[in-house]
Every structure is written in C-alpha cells, then in structure tokens.
Amino acid sequence: MKRTQSSNRLVQWIDDRLPIFSYADQNVIAYPTPKNLNYWWNYGSIAGIILVIMLVTGIFLAMNYQPNADIAFASVERIVRDVNYGWLLRYLHMNGATMFFIVVYIHMFRGLYFGSYKAPREILWMVGVTIYVAMMATAFMGYVLPWGQMSFWGATVITNLFSAIPVIGDYIVVWIWGGFSVDLPTINRFFVWHYLLPMILVMLVVVHLWALHVHKSSNPLGIDIKTPQDMMPFHPFYTIKDLYGLGLFMIVYLFFVFFYPNFFGEADNYIPANPMVTPPHILPEWYFLPFYAILRAIPDKLGGVIVMFSGVLILYVLPWLDTSKVRSATFRPVFKQLFWIFVADCLFLGWLGARPADGIYLWLGRAATFYYFFHFMVLLPLVGKLEKPKPLPSSIYEEVAKKCRAKED
C-alpha cells in the first residue's frame, strides 16, 4: 500500500491507521483512466448519483409514508399536498426511477457495443446484471406502494407469474402475498423489501466498482492499456467530464420533475386500489415493457414466464456467447450492424409491450422475441467466428495523438 503524499501530519497519522487518504488517492484522484473515454462512459457515474438521489428522497418519503393498505394511498396524497416539499420529494423519486432505468439501459448498451463484458471483465459485467435484476425488483415493489389501481393490479399480475411454477406455484404465491390475495400483509412486506433492497444494491455497486478497479475501465478502442502514456488521472479530467454530463442529465431529469411529473406514469394509478375491478388497459412501467412483450408472445403460462426470465438471465452468459476476441464494435463491421438491429429489436419489443396482445401485435411480438434470442444464441457465436475484424490500433496513446494532430491541421 502506497503512503499518502500529503505532508499534513494529521493526515499521515490517520492514513497510517486507516488508509482512507491513500485509498481515495489511488481510486479517485490519481486513479489511472484510459485517455480516450467518450461521453458514453458518463452513464456509470450518473447511475451512481441517481442511486444516491433515490436513497435520499426515499428515506425522506418513508418518514411520511404509511405501508398500510387502508391508508397508503391517502398517505401518498398527503405527501404531495400537505408535507412541505412532499410533491418535490415524490416526483424526484418517481421520475428518478425512470431516469435510473434510462441511464442504466444506456450504460448496458454501451457495454454491449464496446464489448465491455469480455475478458477480463466478465465478473464485472455479471455483477452489473445482478444490479439490474435488483433494480427491477426494487422498482416493481416501489410501484406497488402508492396503492393505486396500477399498483394493485401490477402486483397481482407479477406475483402471479410465480403460480406458473409446477406443483408448488400456488403455495409460493400465497406465501409471497401473506394471504389469499394482494392485501395488507403484501404491502407491508413490499415496503420492507423496497427499503432493504437498495441497501443491498449499494453493496453490489461497491463490488461492481471493486471489480472495475482491478482491470480499470474499458475504452472505445477496446484495446488494453499498455503504457502509462495511455492513461490520465481520473481527477480532474474525468471528474470534470462526469460533472458536465451530470449537469446535462439533471436538466432533462428536472425538466420532467417540474413540468411533466406524471409523464411516465399511468393516470389509473391515481384511482385507489380496488380488488373488485381490473383497469381495462393494464401494463407495467415502461422499463419492463420489452420483457412484458416477450411474456405475452409465448402462448403458454409456464413457457412465457421461463422465456421472459431467460431474456434477462441470458445476459449472465453473454461473455461466453460472444466468441470474438475483438472488444469494440468500431473494428467489427458485421457486429456493428447487428448491434443496431438488436437495439431496434429491443425498442420494438418495448413498443409492442404497450399494445394490445392480439392480432398482428401478437405475431410481431413473436418475431421480435425470436430475434432477441436469435441475436444472443446464434448470431453472436457465429459472427465472432466468421467476421473479419478491421486491424486494431497499436496503442490508445497513438490514436489519441493522431486525432489531436488531425484537429490541429
């Protein structure tokens, strides 16, 4: 362990016993980062900051929220109407969830495009997928808490997915509910999980960063760091770049918070939960729509649930499905096109998830679902073998220098 560079005696004394200063220096200040990171590398830090915003707004919302089926809906309305700045806390939290998913999806597609999941960063990627799964569980349970119609029926539909499990499915669902329907015990335990899971999420993020700092960030060229010339200290170069990106992101986020706070929500969720009436158009939050489309594409209860969960879990084995040794799509002409087709397929699935589940939409959903898995299970392994990648640059430093010279000319 390196000693701290500070000449302050107190800093040295503390650092000798608890090396927080040298740790911060190695991991934040002098932390070596590839010189050529572009703005797609901003989304990791933005995601981390939204997580903090979600935690802080969530903690303060919890101080006024009542996890009781009889008064939960009224307590959320009280937060918005009576609690000082309660409307701000709630809309920051609601829209924060949406922004969290947008940012994490961009972060994930960044990884897909630039091959960030490849050796030696497989575990880093898998921890990231786990974070994503934990996020989905947290978001789902959070959506149940306001106890509107969409909350109630979303909870009913999603928990009923587990009834597809053969033999013990019905018992599992009753166990999850703590009763014979989504009711008082359900909202109480969902509140506990919604509060607990983010703490686990924070720990997963620490593990994610731990793994990241072993082999450092990947980069747009996808080639390894070879010499110190390939790198820059994280501070001030990337702290400033991250802050700039954060500023732009906050403008978008706060635009929705202040002007269109319910843009991403469903009007039906302002109707108190009614176990006797299902709303005519029941659909999940937008960030679940692609998986919802996959679920509905399969004409079998158990099959649909299995395929839907596979759609997420297949990401865990992605590092071994992609057989190409070249990381960045920049040097993979065929993969690059397939990547954008895959992005389009995901967006298309999302669009289909919000359409009614019959007629032409059903068949389009099946085609898009088929292609989703075809991309992972057939195209990725084959293209890696058949494609002829472009020649890779010899070093990050040379490419950066070449670009600088081109700019000067």
Partner 1 sequence: MTDNPTNTPEEMDGDRRDFLLISTTTLGVAGVAMAAWPFIHSINPAKDVLALASTEVDLSAVEVGQAITVMWRGKPVFIRHRTAEEIQSAEKVDVGELRDPQTDADRVQKPEWLIAVGVCTHLGCIPSGQSLGDNRGEYGGWFCPCHGSVYDTSGRIRKGPAPFNLAVPPYTFTDDTTIMIG
The single-letter code of the amino acid at 76 is V
> Pick from 46, 72, 76, 83: which binds partner 1 (CB under 8 A)?
83
Rounded to whole angstroms, how far apart are CA atoms 290 and 309?
A: 12
Catalytic residue among 15, 25, 230, 242: 242
List the one residue out of 129, 132, 106, 47 whose CA is nearest residue 318: 129
List the one residue out of 323, 336, 340, 321 whose CA is nearest residue 390: 336
Q: Is 217 labeled as catalytic in the residue annotation? A: yes
Beta strands, E only, 27-183: 32-34
Q: Which are the contacts of 85, defined by CB distance < 8 A and separation ≥ 6? A: none
Which one of 82-90, 116-124, 182-190, 198-206 is the stretch in contact with partner 1 (CB under 8 A)? 82-90
Which one of 35-43, 83-91, 220-228, 306-314 is the stretch in contact with partner 1 (CB under 8 A)? 83-91
CB nearer partner 1, residue 45 or residue 57 = 57
> Pick from 34, 44, 86, 304: which binds partner 1 (CB under 8 A)?
86
Q: Is 82 labeled as catalytic in the residue annotation? A: no
Question: Which tokens in the block code for residue 207?
Answer: 């593990």
Is 19 within 8 Å of 1 (Cβ atoms)? yes
Give CA separation, 112 vs 5, 135, 264, in Å: 39, 19, 26
> Pick from 50, 54, 89, 308: which binds partner 1 (CB under 8 A)?
89
Site string for partner 1, 17-56 (x = CB under 8 A): ---------------------------------------x
Is 149 within 8 Å of 279 (Cβ atoms)? yes
The enclosing H or E element of 103 equals: helix 86-114
The single-letter code of the amino acid at 166 is P
Question: Which tokens in the block code for residue 138?
Answer: 């947290």
Catalytic residue among 22, 217, 218, 324: 217
Pairing mode of beta strands 231-233, 32-34? antiparallel
Indicate if the alpha-carbon torsion angle 341, 343, 347, 352 is positive or negative.
positive
Catalytic residue among 35, 183, 213, 387: 213
Q: Does 84 bind partner 1 (CB under 8 A)?
A: yes
| 275 CA to centre of own chain | 31
> Pick from 1, 10, 18, 63: which binds partner 1 (CB under 8 A)?
63
Q: Does 189 bind partner 1 (CB under 8 A)?
A: no
Which one of 59-67, 124-132, 143-151, 359-367 is the stretch in contact with partner 1 (CB under 8 A)? 59-67
> Pick from 12, 14, 55, 78: which binds partner 1 (CB under 8 A)?
78
Shortest distance in whole angstroms from residue 57 CB to partner 1: 8
CB nearer partner 1, residue 57 or residue 151 = 57
> Pick from 31, 60, 125, 153: which binds partner 1 (CB under 8 A)?
60
CB nearer partner 1, residue 86 or residue 290 = 86
Number of residues counted as binding partner 1 (CB under 8 A): 14
Q: Does 82 bind partner 1 (CB under 8 A)?
A: yes
Q: Is 241 labeled as catalytic in the residue annotation? A: yes
Q: Does 85 bind partner 1 (CB under 8 A)?
A: yes
Shortest distance in whole angstroms from residue 409 CB to partner 1: 24
Three-state secondary-structure class, residue 233: strand
Q: Does 235 bind partner 1 (CB under 8 A)?
A: no
Rounded to whole angstroms, how far apart are CA atoms 140 and 142?
A: 5
Question: Which tokens in the block code for residue 350?
Answer: 């999302």
The enclosing H or E element of 232 equals: strand 231-233
Q: How many other C-beta atoms can be found within 10 angstroms of the C-beta atom of residue 288?
A: 21
Catalytic residue among 285, 322, 345, 399: 285
Is 306 within 8 Å of 378 (Cβ atoms)? no
Site of tokens 């053969």? 166
CB nearer partner 1, residue 48 or residue 279 = 48
> Pick from 6, 64, 130, 160: which binds partner 1 (CB under 8 A)?
64
Which one of 74-82, 181-189, 282-290, 355-363 is the stretch in contact with partner 1 (CB under 8 A)? 74-82
Please list the active-site residues: 213, 217, 241-242, 285
Residues in the site for partner 1, rule: CB under 8 A? 56-57, 60, 63-64, 78, 81-86, 88-89
